Chain A
């Protein structure tokens, strides 16, 4: 099962996914979607790491991916906790409601 992959293609794929994530974070109104989009970006980075690891034949890329995974989980847990609080207080998850502090 020998695959030949062009580094550029992998990197560009990851980059494209990353860019989609960015778009998602910016355009969405609901905080949950924003978190989802951030997950997409993290995943794209993970893809890049795995690709890099496989490029050099090292486990380090995957190690990093594992840590990314841990971090994503941690972040999502706190993020969702926050979302619960926000929903509790604002009865909405519209990020545009959260503009009280400015100037």
Chain B
């Protein structure tokens, strides 16, 4: 079954590569979903079936939907794609890519020098996981709840729309713009 592993790995890599190179956010998101599915496959092959499940349901399902929702909400389509296209010149991505490559090379060097053996992944059943979660890591789960609460409160506050308090310099401009708008409407 190693072959499945390598295939899934390759798919994940290629899809990820596509994610970071797509100009259109929606395309990128779709590729990311592919990548996440490949991840789920990898998880499954590594014996973590529950994780694979979560990956699909929460990551690919919930979180990605959130992204798409925002993209749609803000109507980020062609404009963004255009902007990214203009931007993503070799001059721009060369440097960071080299940097990342160097980092990876170092990582490679370190990992290869450690001489790990191959192993057969042990299957960890959801049950085992649940036991661990609710016994050993119970406080962790509670803390995760606090974490989510922080996120909810925070997102609620930040995302809340209030009337925009503009700086006094900007206020005039805005008024002008509005006037203009009215003119065009009329």
Contacts and interface: CB of A to CB of B under 8 A. Distances in A.
Q: Do chains A and B make direct contact within the complex (CB under 8 angstroms)?
A: yes
Given A20-B13, A88-B161, A30 B76 contact: yes
A32 B133 contact: no
A53 B154 contact: no
B17 interface: yes
Contact of B59 (A5, A60, A69): A69
Pairs of residues from A and B, 10 with the lowest C-beta to C-beta distance, nearest first: A74-B151, A57-B122, A24-B20, A81-B159, A54-B121, A7-B116, A26-B96, A59-B132, A81-B155, A6-B118
Contacts of A20: 13, 16-17, 19-20, 100
Contacts of B154: 78, 81
A40 B101 contact: no
A4 B151 contact: no
Interface of B: 1-2, 4-5, 9, 12-13, 16-17, 19-20, 25, 28-29, 32, 35-36, 39, 42-43, 45-48, 50-51, 54-55, 58-59, 62-63, 66-67, 70-71, 73-74, 76, 80, 83-84, 87-88, 92-93, 96-97, 99-101, 103-104, 107-108, 111-112, 116-122, 124, 128-129, 131-133, 137, 140, 144, 147-148, 150-152, 154-156, 158-159, 161, 164
Given A73-B58, A73-B148, A29 B87 contact: yes
A17 B159 contact: no
B113 to A, nearest CB: 10
A48 B107 CA distance: 14
B147 A71 contact: yes
Instruction: Give the secondary structure class of A's interface.
Output: helix
Contacts of B148: 70, 73-74
Contacts of A83: 70, 74
Interface in A65-81: 65-67, 69-78, 80-81
